[in-house]
Amino acid sequence: MRSDFAAALRCDIFCNVIDNYGDIGVCWRLARQLANEHGLSVRLWVEDLASFAKLCPDADATLDSQHRRGVEVCAWRTEFPDVQPASIVIEAFACKLPGSYIEAMAEQEQQPAWINLEYLSAEDWVHGCHGLPSPHPRLPLTKYFFFPGFTRQTGGLLLERDLLARRDAFLNDGAAQEGFWKSLGLGMPAADILKISLFAYENAALPGLFDAWASGTQAILCLVPEGRILPQLGLYFGAAAPRAGNEYARGNLRVRVLPFVAQEDYDMLLWACDLNFVRGEDSCVRAQWAGKPFVWQIYPQHDDVHWQKLQAFLDLYNAPRLSAGEDARAVLAQQGLWREWNQEGGAGATWPAFAAALDELKHRAQDWARLLAENNLALNLLDFCQKVGRIRALKIEGQ
């Protein structure tokens, strides 16, 4: 339901696509949520519309402006048009706003709520930085840092209002599941087949892991969305250029290459599988909402700072288990495979212990998703904009 006031409230989100799909993935998700769940009038400025079109296949990458799922998606070109700034301005991942737009923000009667939406991290320092102001050196404007995160001292995570209900409905609906597998060109896998989705960067650990799966006693169906891992998959199976629809088998392992689907449809793959390999930021969060065990390939950064990020997440994720004095075997099994996968090492050797811990890891994943759901980023963001006093009282849906 739109409140009359919120209908008048405008939000501009700026996204500069650095690499891959994570930046645009987060912005597109947030834009849709603000528009469709909170009734804001949202413009999403994207400088790489081709990447956007991968997530939203009905988009036209040549258009200056188009309306998709309730959001106006605009091409962000070097020559920036003379537009009136919105009341909420979100600069995603410290992308640099156009100079003319910043000047126009300063000329507004009421200063817009200017938010720098940061990358996700479970590290402790985020608590001290979330919400910090950064006054503009020259203009009467203040930008605020807004950090997504896993604890109450952060901005929380993006979660659509109906996501968990849709997930549960899917998991309780055999016909819906059958329809999903059919849409992939597959029959419903037998109950004793372990279904694994694998969305990954290039990873030298792949052949070892495939070997472990192929030679194991458990039948495995591995679903690989088109992307950066495909050349290695091709090498493993001796196939020239694997494409969506291709299928390969060795021993107890069957691999199917999937098309890269619209962002809304990717969730179903995560729900339908027993284990999900994910990467970067957004797919990692979606895997957590799926409530299934997952393996995270973190986005590699300079100076190996991503290792601290990975360890911080593992510590937070496992802390309640360990402090409850539970058997640490599942935790160790999880850490073993995550580390080897991320350092492109002997992931295959860690597989048997991980596989043995799958049931316990599933319970942990379900508890974790329930815990996280209490901290909703879109709600927190709107609340924050209201608190920093730049916009009039908002009727925030869901509060």
Residues catalogued as catalytic: 23, 281
Residues 6+ apart with CB under 8 A from 267: 163, 166, 167, 286, 289, 290
Kindly state the smallest distance separating residue 113's Cβ from ligand TRH, in Å: 24
Round to whole Å and give the CA distance between 232 and 251: 18
Q: Which of 16, 232, 263, 334 binds ligand TRH (CB under 6 A)?
A: 263
Closest alpha carbon to 217 in 181, 251, 172, 263: 251
The CB-side HSE value for 110 (13 A sphere, CA atoms) comes to 14
Site string for ligand TRH, 81-120 (x = CB under 6 A): --------------------------------------x-
Task: Give the interface segment with ligand TRH, choosing from 13-21, 61-69, 324-332, 349-357 (CB under 6 A).
Answer: 13-21
Looking at 22-30, 141-149, 303-311, 343-351, which segment touches ligand TRH (CB under 6 A)?
Answer: 22-30
SS3 88: strand
In this chain, which stretch among 123-131, 140-148, 213-221, 256-264 interacts with ligand TRH, using CB under 6 A? 256-264
Which residues, including other chains, have CB under 8 Å from residue 204's CB and lie 6 or more apart? Answer: 232, 344
CB of 63 to ligand TRH, least distance (A): 20
Rounded CA-CA distance 344/241 in Å is: 22
Give CA separation, 205 vs 41, 251, 254, 347, in Å: 45, 18, 18, 6
CB-nearer residue toward ligand TRH: 266 or 384: 266
DSSP string across 234-290: HHHHT-SS--TT-EEEETTEEEEEEPPPPHHHHHHHHHHSSEEEEETTHHHHHHHHH
Query: Hey, CA dihedral for 365, 167, 118, 9, is it positive or negative?
Result: negative
Between residues 56 and 365, which has the closer beta carbon with respect to ligand TRH? 56
Cβ distance 15 to 95 under 8 Å? yes
CB atoms within 10 A of CB 213: 24
Closer residue to ligand TRH (CB): 87 or 376: 376
- Which x/- pattern, by CB under 6 A, does the window 33-72 give for ligand TRH? ----------------------x-----------------
- Supply the minimum distance, in Å, between the C-beta of residue 389 and ligand TRH: 31
296 sits near ligand TRH (criterion: CB under 6 A): no
Tokens describing residue 361: 């890891």
Under rule CB under 6 A, residue 209 binds ligand TRH:
no
Question: Which one of the spans 32-40, 99-107, 136-144, 276-284 is the region binding ligand TRH (CB under 6 A)?
Answer: 276-284
By CB under 6 A, is residue 19 in contact with ligand TRH?
A: yes
| Interacting residue with ligand TRH among 45, 52, 199, 294 (CB under 6 A) | 199
**Considering CB under 6 A, how many residues would be counted as binding ligand TRH?**
21
Q: How far is the CB of 96 from ligand TRH (least distance, A)?
A: 16
Q: Does 341 bind ligand TRH (CB under 6 A)?
A: no
Q: For 130-157, give one letter per residue: b (16+ CB within 10 A) or e.
A: bbeeeeeeeeebebbbbbbbbeeebbbb
d(CA 310, CA 20): 19
Length of the chain in terms of residues written = 399
271 scored as a contact of ligand TRH (CB under 6 A): no
Considering only residues 119-158, where is the footprint of ligand TRH by CB under 6 A?
Answer: 119
Q: What is the crossing angle of helices 230-237 and 206-215, to 10°? A: 50
Contact 207, 232 (CB under 8 A): yes
Tell me: does residue 309 bind ligand TRH (CB under 6 A).
no
Among 6, 14, 25, 382, binds ligand TRH (CB under 6 A): 25
Residue with smaller CB distance to ligand TRH, 32 or 390: 32
Note whether 12 binds ligand TRH by CB under 6 A. Answer: no
Q: Considering the rule CB under 6 A, would residue 299 count as an interface residue with ligand TRH?
A: yes
Say how far apart CA 101 and CA 385 lie, in whole Å.
Answer: 19
Interface with ligand TRH includes 356 (CB under 6 A)? no
Residues in touch with ligand TRH (CB under 6 A): 18-23, 25, 55, 119, 199, 225, 260-261, 263, 266, 279-283, 299
